Amino acid sequence: MRREVWAGMAALRFVDAVRQALADEMEADESVILMGEEVGPLGGVFTVTRDLIERFGPDRVMDAPLAEASFTGFALGAATEGMRPVVEIMFSDFVMIAMDQIVNHAAKLRYMTNEQFDVPIVVRLPGGGGSNHGPQHSQSFESWFAHTPGLIVAMPSNPSDGYWMMRHAIQLNDPVIFLENKAMYFGAEQEVADEPPADPWAAAVPREGSDLTIVSAGRMVGRCLSAAESISTRGIDCEVIDLRYLWPMDVDTVFTSVAKTSRLLVVSEAVEFCGWSGEVASRVAKDAFTSLDAPIFRVGALRCPIPVGVALEDEIIPTVERIEQAVVDCMDF
Amino acid sequence: MRWAQDLRRHSVGDLATVEEQLFALMLLIRSVEAAIERTHRAAKITGSFHSSLGQESCAAGVSLALRDDDIVTSNHRGHGHAVGKGVSAEAVIAEMFRRTNGSSGGRGGSMHIHNRSVGFYGETAIVGGGLGWASGAAWTRKRHGSDAIAVAYAGDGAFANGIFAEAIRVADFWEAPCLFVCENNGWAHSMPSDGVFGPAGSITNVVSAMNVRSEFVDGRDAVKVYETGCELVEYVRTGKPAFIEVAVHRVKAHSVNDADYRYRPKNEGAEWLREYDPINSLRASIRVEQQHAIESAVSAVVDEALEAASNGALPETSDALRGIYATRGLGWDGRAEIR
């Protein structure tokens, strides 16, 4: 039985917004539990679960042994019995250890049991670069998950979405991969919207423009907005689309935008090669071909491990400058 | 138990003793496996299957110790675990035949028998993959005030995988009422178990060292498996995990397509069965007329199941994309269903 609660509409940082969403869902529904490494007294290495154990107790905020495969499987088992576990993988890179439970089990259980079991589980993945934690603490795996049938892939780009998308994810009866760019946690505060979006799956258009469409998700949305702002001084007017979900992917919003701008750039923090930005490009190339006045451009991470220092990391992960350059190249075509 | 009701329909009287119950269930499991192998050979079934023929004492001994509301997860060699928990022979065989009256509607096959209504959460084809599932489910039942438990079956091969130690550690840490069953059949595919772990019983020593209650049983004695199973199940009902290793013998090849003559003597399985068959060992304690009554009832149940499975409808091809997501409006192709 859900109890609706006050949603705490203050200006929040991303980290506080996600924490508030967890707390509000835990308040609303006793079956919501948190599991993961250091989620208890420490409150998570990024403080996302800080103070929640004091409020909800160790029966609902469960510090797990360092056993990602096992506690993810345990969470899956609890989910099949009606719990709504939210699993924190301390750094998204560690999810590789739990991939069997996520990909071979959680994602397929409903289908392969002929709908006898649902797996309402959220796997939180603090990931991506920007915090200079090095090659095994900075990866962006979103394309892997978007590629896997049975998963929903959420990738918020701002505090308001961090709040409402997390609440939505916890209420869904399917496994949700929830990608939190850890470099966003302690960024600027933002007013959380009073209501969730009318269409929870729809992409957002944080900047309207007429010359070129930039599609992105997660932390890169901020860089795309910076690039769009900067390049507007040169008379180029970019529209920026924030996909919010990589699966289901709202390509309709992209089609509508490209019909207006006739140019498309897709920006991902994930490795560009075989990455989700190729899916956007391919859909537009096929279904909106006649709208295009230029080839579709993509900017993603180079196919290289993420080095630890800022200087080297900026060579790999898209920067505002690389995005601007791609806009110019696409406009110049 | 469902399987006993099925036998009763074919005029077996009450199965009065543990020996009779074990004999009947083991014979039923073996007959189901044999029927699947026969029909597989007759090319009715594509793909593979993994026979548990000869290993029945583990499934039967543990199953008889369980209640209807207990939960079971199993592995790729799980037909016996399924039948023991109450999945009908028809639902198992029909799933092999990819029919809609199969336990997963014909979309899972041999390694994906699932029947929630009887507590058989089911098999997984990933070695060791079901251990966390069982313990998380059992922990939730306990949290909701039930004393139901879960059993997680895995083969010896799984105990070479890290998930084994992890799952038992986590179940112990969170006090999940889960009985981990290591069905040590002597082989991890073509790899002899004793070469990996040492003699049967060695895996039990490992779990004992983790401070989790553990027992080793020689599966040639089905009654002993049952008795030890009962003790451990009773202990697990108090809210703790436990472990049992049952030494059985894989009479058949790893799978129906496996060339096991390349790694073991050709008649090794059959010879073991001649000498140690745990089903035959029970005959001494069952009246001959009752043995015959059970045999003919088992045979009738399996014939009936084969018939029903063969007559089951094949899934509609238009059904292939159904049921990936529970969320309304999410079809296989993203938002296609709501556009």
A229 contacts chain B (CB < 8 A):
no
Q: How far apart are CA B298 and CA B284, in angstroms?
A: 19
Specify the DSSP class assigned to residue B8: H
What's the pLDDT at B140? 98
B99 contacts chain A (CB < 8 A):
no
Residue A164 sits in a domain whose CATH number is 3.40.50.970
Specify the DSSP class assigned to residue A149: T
Percentage of residues of chain B with pLDDT beyond 90: 91
Nearest residue in B to A104, CA atom: B126
Q: What is the pLDDT of residues B228-237, one digit of tens each?
A: 999 999 999 9
pLDDT tens for chain A, 333 residues long, are: 566 655 556 799 999 999 999 999 999 999 999 999 999 999 999 999 999 999 999 999 999 999 999 999 999 999 999 999 999 999 999 999 999 999 999 999 999 999 999 999 999 999 999 999 999 999 999 999 999 999 999 999 999 999 999 999 999 999 999 999 999 999 999 999 999 999 999 999 999 999 999 999 999 999 999 999 999 999 999 999 999 999 999 999 999 999 999 999 999 999 999 999 999 999 999 999 999 999 999 999 999 999 998 999 999 999 999 999 999 999 999
Binary contact (A73, B167; C-beta < 8 A): yes
What ipTM, to 2 d.p.?
Answer: 0.96
Nearest residue in A to B111, CA atom: A112
E runs forming strands in chain A: 11-12, 32-36, 61-63, 84-88, 122-127, 152-154, 176-181, 190-191, 204-207, 212-216, 238-242, 245-247, 264-271, 297-301
User: Among A191, A219, A241, where does a domain finish?
Assistant: A191
CB B179 within 8 A of CB B150: yes
Q: How far is B221 from chain A (nearest CA, A)?
A: 32
Binary contact (B115, A116; C-beta < 8 A): yes
From the list A65, A81, A120, the residue facing B140 with the nearest CB is A81
Percentage of residues of chain B with pLDDT beyond 70: 98
Q: A40 — phi, psi (to 5°)?
A: -80, -120
Q: Which of A26, A55, A28 shows the shortest CA–CA distance to A40? A: A55
Q: Which residue has the tokens 């909701």?
A: B144
Q: How far apart are CA B39 and CA B98, in angstroms?
A: 13
Q: Are residues A320 and A219 in the same domain?
A: yes
Q: Are residues A24 and A151 in the same domain?
A: yes
Binary contact (A174, B132; C-beta < 8 A): no
Q: How far is A114 from chain B (nearest CA, A)?
A: 5
CATH superfamily membership of B2-316: Thiamin diphosphate (ThDP)-binding fold, Pyr/PP domains (3.40.50.970)
From the list A73, A112, A249, the residue facing B104 with the nearest CB is A112
Q: Are residues A321 and A245 in the same domain?
A: yes
Q: Which residues of A touch B166 (CB under 8 A)?
A: 65, 67, 69-70
* A199 in any annotated domain: no
* Best to test chain B binding among A114, A177, A251 (most B CBs inside 10 Å): A114
Q: How far apart are CA A16 and CA A22, in angstroms?
A: 10
Active centre residues of A (catalytic): 137
State both tokens at A157: 């780009």
What's the pLDDT at B230? 98
Q: Which of B4, B313, B254 shows the shortest CA–CA distance to B110? A: B254
Q: Are residues A86 and A210 in the same domain?
A: no
Q: How far is A113 from chain B (nearest CA, A)?
A: 5
Q: Which of A329, A307, A309, A318 shows the shortest CA–CA distance to A275? A: A318
Q: Are residues A127 and A244 in the same domain?
A: no
Q: Which residues of B touch A251 (CB under 8 A)?
A: 334
E runs forming strands in B187-310: 187-188, 191-192, 213-218, 242-247
From the list B104, B126, B133, the residue facing A114 with the nearest CB is B104
Q: Are residues A266 and A323 in the same domain?
A: yes
The H or E element containing residue B123 is: strand B120-123
Q: Are residues A237 and A106 in the same domain?
A: no
Cβ under 8 Å to A: B residues 141-200: 141, 143-144, 150, 162-163, 166-167, 169-171, 173-174, 176
What's the pLDDT at B337? 47
* A306 in any annotated domain: yes
Q: Which residues of B touch A200 (CB under 8 A)?
A: none
* A6 in any annotated domain: no
From the list A78, A82, A104, the residue facing B129 with the nearest CB is A104
| Distance from the Cα of residue A51 to its chain's centroid | 24
What's the pLDDT at B45? 78
Number of domains in chain A: 2
Q: What is the pLDDT of residues B131-178, one digit of tens each?
A: 999 999 999 999 999 999 999 999 999 999 999 999 999 999 999 999
Q: Are residues A308 and A237 in the same domain?
A: yes
Q: Which residues contact B6 (CB under 8 A, 6 or more apart)?
A: B88, B89, B301
User: Among A137, A166, A191, where does a domain finish?
Assistant: A191
Q: Are strands B71-74 and B187-188 parallel, antiparallel or unpaired?
A: unpaired
Q: Are residues A109 and A221 in the same domain?
A: no
Q: Are residues A142 and A35 in the same domain?
A: yes
Q: Are residues A64 and A162 in the same domain?
A: yes
What's the pLDDT at B14? 85
CB B27 within 8 A of CB B294: yes
Q: Which residues of B touch A80 (CB under 8 A)?
A: 121, 133, 136-137
* A2 in any annotated domain: no
From the list A78, A110, A172, the residue facing B323 with the nearest CB is A110
Q: Which residues of A touch B334 (CB under 8 A)?
A: 247-249, 251
Q: How far apart are CA A77 and CA B130, in angstroms?
A: 9
Ordered strands of the A264-271 beta sheet: A204-207, A238-242, A212-216, A264-271, A297-301
A4 contacts chain B (CB < 8 A):
no
Q: Which residues of A touch B116 (CB under 8 A)?
A: 113, 116-117
* A228 in any annotated domain: yes
* Best to test chain B binding among A74, A172, A199, A250 (most B CBs inside 10 Å): A74
Indicate the pLDDT class of residue B336, thresholds 50, 70 and 90: low
Q: What is the pLDDT of residues B18-39, one digit of tens each?
A: 999 999 999 999 999 999 999 8
Cβ under 8 Å to B: A residues 123-182: 149-150, 152, 172-174
What's the pLDDT at A283? 97
Q: What is the pLDDT of residues B259-281, one digit of tens each?
A: 999 999 999 999 999 999 999 99
CB B130 within 8 A of CB B143: no
Amino acid at B176: A
Domain of residue A178, residue span: 11-191
3-state SS class at B290: helix
Residue B338 has pLDDT above 70, yes or no: no
From the list A59, A69, A80, the residue facing B121 with the nearest CB is A80
Residue B339 has pLDDT above 60, yes or no: no
Residue A328 sits in a domain whose CATH number is 3.40.50.920
* A138 in any annotated domain: yes
What's the pLDDT at A7? 53
Q: Which residues of B touch A100 (CB under 8 A)?
A: 126, 129, 163
Q: What integer is the mean pLDDT of B229-247?
A: 98
* A196 in any annotated domain: no
B119 contacts chain A (CB < 8 A):
no
Q: Are residues A140 and A66 in the same domain?
A: yes
Q: Which residues of B touch A175 (CB under 8 A)?
A: none
From the list B121, B176, B332, the residue facing A149 with the nearest CB is B332
User: Among A191, A219, A235, where does a domain finish?
Assistant: A191
